Homo-oligomer: A and B are copies of this chain.
Amino acid sequence: MNKTEPRTLPGFMELLPQEQILFNQIKETIKNNYEKFGFLPLDTPVMEDSNVLLAKAGGETEKQIYRFTKGDNDLSLRFDLTVPLAKYVAKNYGELTFPFRRYQIGKVYRGERAQRGRYREFYQCDIDIIGDGELSIINDAELTKVIYDTFNELDFGKFTICINNRKILNGLFENFGQKESSTQIMRIIDKIEKIGKEKVIQELEELGIEKTNIEQIINFIEIDGTTDEKLDKLEKLNISNEVFVKGLQELKEVVKYIRYFNVPEDNFKIDLTIARGLDYYTGTVYETFLDDYKSLGSVCSGGRYENLAEYYTDKKLPGVGISIGLTRLFYQLNEINIIKADKKSIADVLIIPMVDNFEYIAKIQNELRNQGKNVQIYYEDKKIKTKFKYADKLQIPYVVVVGEDEVKNNTYTIKNMQTGEQKEISIWDGPFW
Contacts and interface: CB of A to CB of B under 8 A. Distances in A.
A8 B87 CA distance: 8
B40 A23 contact: no
Given A38-B346, A380-B135, A96 B45 contact: no
Interface string A88-101: 10111001110101
A96 to B, nearest CB: 7
A223 interface: no
A68 B77 CA distance: 12
Contacts of A376: 37-38, 101
A87 B309 CA distance: 41
A267 interface: no
Contacts of A136: 379-381
Interface stretch (A157-165, A358-366, A403-411, A424-432): A358-366
Interface stretch (A12-20, A205-213, A284-292, A332-340): A12-20
Interface stretch (A176-184, A194-202, A254-262, A268-276): A254-262
Given A37-B374, A46-B121, A95-B16, A313 B6 contact: yes
Contacts of A388: none
A109 B75 CA distance: 13
B38 A366 contact: no
Given A366-B262, A380-B135, A20 B43 contact: yes
A46 B107 contact: yes
A421 interface: no
A310 interface: yes
B311 A4 contact: yes
B121 A45 contact: yes
Given A71-B111, A131-B380, A17 B40 contact: yes
A3 interface: yes
A42 B21 CA distance: 9
B12 A47 contact: yes
A260 B356 CA distance: 12
A139 interface: yes
A324 interface: no
Contacts of A14: 43-45, 88
A393 interface: yes
A335 B6 CA distance: 41
Given A6-B87, A380-B136, A15 B43 contact: yes
11 contacts: A1-B310, A3-B314, A4-B312, A6-B52, A6-B91, A7-B91, A20-B40, A24-B41, A38-B396, A135-B380, A260-B362
10 closest Cβ contacts across the A-B interface? Answer: A38-B376, A68-B68, A38-B347, A6-B90, A12-B45, A6-B312, A17-B40, A4-B55, A136-B379, A6-B91
